Amino acid sequence: MSESIDYSSPYANYRSPLSTRYASKEMQYNFSDQKKFSTWRKLWINLAKAEKEMGLNITDEQIQEMENNIYNINFDDAANEERLTRHDVMAHVHVFAKQCPLAAPIIHLGATSCFVGDNTDLIILRDGLDLLIPRVATVIQNLARFADQYKSLPALGYTHLQPAQLTTVGKRATLWLYDFLMDERALTRAREDLRFRGVKGTTGTQASFMQLLNDSSKVRALDQCVAELSGFNKTYPVTGQTYSRKVDLEIVATLSSLGSSIHKMCSDLRLLANFKEMEEPFEASQIGSSAMPYKRNPMRSERCCAISRHLIALFSNAANTHSVQWLERTLDDSANKRLTLSEAFLSADAVLMVLTNITQGLVVYPKVIEKRINQELPFMSAENLIMAMVKKGGDRQICHEKIRVLSHEAGAQVKQHGKDNDFLDRVRADPYFKPILAELDGLLDPSTYIGRASEQVTEFLAEEVQPILQKYKEVLKNELSVTLNI
């Protein structure tokens, strides 16, 4: 039987998982056609208002007519116009002009397509950063609480993914946390650095506006006026037809860097879940595997890693696009920007939401952590044992050799026979160590092996983290709680 396909069904067409499964409604709207094209209309209105202020013959009635139709967009008419004109901006100019017959003669007056295209992109980038930065602040707050709660809980440290000296659960969390402090700083800096393209004309010389106003100071004032009406204090001082695509590159680089922080933390969580020391939240009805009912797969962390990897890879797109913008501009940026910028923000938004959910409910298993410490601590105690024996009058070199032999014997039991580490039993059975047997339990107290870890956490939270959280105290009052639907 041949398949009959209903292409009109939304389920018969490709839909990005970023919009159907992952990203928030707010970020989806930020990159929607409704936001984009209503912003175009707002920019045409701002241009008209500024041109009126500079003395051009534009009436309040014309401006009011445009304002009455900002959101009244006929997308079908615009699509039909674009099929005829092969020009998206002119298609929307024509549709808007039909809705605003009084204003039709002055819509897009003196402007090039990049007036609406580029300026809208900058508004969307700004608004996107305004959505992401509070999410990062929420993750910082969640991790700060977690680090403080577990700042004194000893845990086995790992270098090269091999057991190393002890740390604490909270101290390890500060390593993740510091990365996110760097991301907050970078995102904030990117937000503060954003300017407006403003009114620059076809090659950035503002020639068309000089023709309209015949006054250099008025053209400069027009540029600033449109920027301020659009919510920006500054415009880029020089542009070609477009603002430099280095702006896009810097922002995508910042988002990609955020993706690397998230990937790093969630990779660590996946390793710790395998060790059964820590894990992400796991719902009572959640299924880890269709074939293995006992499994508790770290699916949230895996999702973060998957999407973050895509986010990291988008950096090369932005870098390559900037590098090939010949002279005043080429159009091979346009289609790539539509994909890269939207997916970078939607991806960052998606992983931050998942990470917020993870950091709200991290689970720690102290008994497992203690067991893993006890398996390795006997070997790590060698230096303490040597120092204790020397204090009792022993010879450091003889003691070192005794411990070397006993530790290798114990290691063979663990690796070759799968037995528990019996190093301490061997120490207790050797008459040589009789002078320190009474001190042995104290010498093996894990809390004596963590150095200043606890104090480091306290100092770090007070000196570095709290000032950041204070900056976002109003946002964090209504704590963002995320429940994942899928």
| CA dihedral over 120, 123, 129, 132, signed as positive or negative | negative
The beta-strand segments (E) located in 232-380 are 278-279, 363-364
Angle at 21 between CA 19 and CA 22, to 5 degrees: 75
Known active-site residue 160: yes
Instruction: Return d(Cα 42, Cα 368) in angstroms, integer.
Output: 59
Contact by Cβ (8 Å): 373, 445? no
> Is 87 one of the annotated active-site residues of the chain?
no
Q: Could you tell me the CA-to-CA distances from 400 to 65, 178, 440, 480 in Å, in that order?
A: 90, 39, 16, 55
Residue 2 DSSP class: P
Per annotation, catalytic residue among 160, 217, 290, 417: 160
Give first-to-last CA distance, the chain, whole Å: 34
Beta pairing partners, 167:
155
Return the closest-CA partner of residue 355 out of 405, 305, 294: 305
> Chain centroid to CA 167: how far?
27
β-partners of residue 196 are 235
Residues with Cβ within 8 Å of residue 338, at least 6 apart in sequence: none
Q: How far is CA 99 from CA 35, 94, 144, in A?
A: 18, 9, 54
Which one of the listed residues 87, 216, 289, 316 is annotated catalytic? Answer: 289
d(CA 48, CA 51): 5
Nearby residues of 194 by Cβ (< 8 Å), 6 or more positions away: 122, 125, 126, 129, 232, 247
The one-letter amino acid at 124: I
Cα–Cα distance measured from residue 242 to residue 228, given in angstroms and rounded to the nearest whole number:
19
Residues noted as catalytic: 160, 289
